[in-house]
Amino acid sequence: MIDTGGDVRMLTGTRYRLFFERNLQDVLERHEAASQVATSELRQLLDLSGEHVRALRLQQFPSHLELAVILDGLPRLEELQLSCGQQDLQMSYDRALFGLPAARCRALSQCLGRLHGLTHLDLSMNLLDDAKIDMLAEGLNKTTAIRSLVLHSNKIQADGALAMGRALQKEECRLTSLNMRLNEVGEEGGHALAVALQNNKSLKHLDIGANNIGPTACTAFAGVLQSNSTLQELDLSCNPLAPGKGGWLLHEAIKANQRVVQLDVRCSEIEDECQKAIAAVIVKRQMSLHAL
């Protein structure tokens, strides 16, 4: 908490905004259930803070609070990092207290179309499965504001990747960065994302490392890199891409596509010679850009 000596008027500019953001975070994370006084004070705090809060980062969000009420009270919100859990449970640990429940995921999806300034959404480590990602994708179809979406370390499988692929192909999609690292989309999901990028004109950075993506998806992404004029950074690391033509197709693709400045295939089972050839192209390109 920022020390103001009891007088918020002492703060100016960024520190003024940070005071309201941190204060709201503390109140929300410590909010007690079934307390009329606490609920009334929370409403007053939202009325006071709403115009100042640009970023909200919650490591734990009590289950009794209504997400839609909070978000609708923050009309200028630009960045939201949400993790649902509890601290200091000790012997009272209950797995059901962790992760983003379906009802909250649905509420968030419905709010996205109303949060016109929200550009960054981080839902990592929330036990999101395919059904919840499908809900989220529906919300993404209602907004053109979000530029960065972080979904790493969830439970997303092929159907969830298909849902995200459909969202990426929508004309209203403005995502420039998508992080789906450490999920389990597999070959089918990886291929679906590659196909989606054939029709996407906004995404610049995609991280789908550690997703059990194999040779078929690898070949599909090589085709994307040949034709996509927007994608600049692609992370395929820690996937069983396997040795063979897929790695060399990626190499040929980035040689032809001058816009690609980063391709990560470390720990992907692609042979060392191919990895070195890919790295050489990327390093030379980055050096050229730095020289400009």
Q: Are 255 and 235 in contact (CB under 8 A)?
A: no
Q: Are residues 9 and 66 in the same domain?
A: yes
Residue 14 has a pLDDT of 82
Task: Judge whether residue 5 has pLDDT over 60.
Answer: no
Mean per-residue pLDDT, 106-126: 96
Q: Are 230 and 206 in contact (CB under 8 A)?
A: no
Longest dimension (CA), the chain: 66
Mean per-residue pLDDT, 226-248: 93
How is the beta sheet containing 177-179 ordered, strand by strand?
55-58, 79-82, 120-122, 148-150, 177-179, 205-207, 233-235, 262-264
Neighbours of 10 (CB within 10 A): 13
**pLDDT tens by residue, 135-176:** 999 999 999 999 999 999 999 999 999 999 999 999 889 999
Residue 84 has a pLDDT of 72
196 versus 83: which is more confidently predicted? 196
Q: Report DSSP state, residue 32.
A: P
- Residue 105 covered by a domain: no
15: tokens are: 């520190």
Q: Quick one: angle between helices 130-140 and 102-112, nearest 10?
A: 10
The closest of 198, 128, 141 to 167, measured between CA atoms, is 141
Q: Are residues 119 and 79 in the same domain?
A: no
**pLDDT tens by residue, 81-108:** 998 755 554 444 445 556 899 999 999 9
- Residue 153 covered by a domain: yes
Which residue range is the domain that position 57 belongs to? 1-86
Per-residue pLDDT band for 32 (boundaries 50, 70, 90) equals confident
Task: Judge whether residue 4 has pLDDT over 70.
Answer: no
Task: Judge whether residue 188 has pLDDT over 60.
Answer: yes
Q: Quick one: angle between helices 158-169 and 130-140, nearest 10?
A: 10
Residue 11 has a pLDDT of 52
Residue 292 has a pLDDT of 56
Give the count of domains, the chain.
2
Q: Are residues 152 and 77 in the same domain?
A: no
Residue 276 has a pLDDT of 95
Angle (nearest 5°) at CA 67 between 177 and 145: 30
For residue 13, the one-letter residue type is G
122: three-class secondary structure by DSSP: strand
Residue 99 has a pLDDT of 86
H or E stretch at 58: strand 55-58
Q: Are residues 275 and 199 in the same domain?
A: yes
DSSP for 72-85, written as a single string:
HT-TT--EEEE---
Per-residue pLDDT band for 35 (boundaries 50, 70, 90) equals low
Residue 288 has a pLDDT of 79
Q: Are residues 62 and 123 in the same domain?
A: no
Q: Are residues 168 and 250 in the same domain?
A: yes
- Residue 120 covered by a domain: yes
85 versus 127: which is more confidently predicted? 127
Q: Are residues 43 and 168 in the same domain?
A: no
Task: Judge whether residue 109 has pLDDT over 80.
Answer: yes
Residue 65 has a pLDDT of 86
Mean pLDDT score of the chain, rounded to an integer? 89
Q: Of 35-49, 81-95, 241-255, which has the strongest mean pLDDT?
A: 241-255
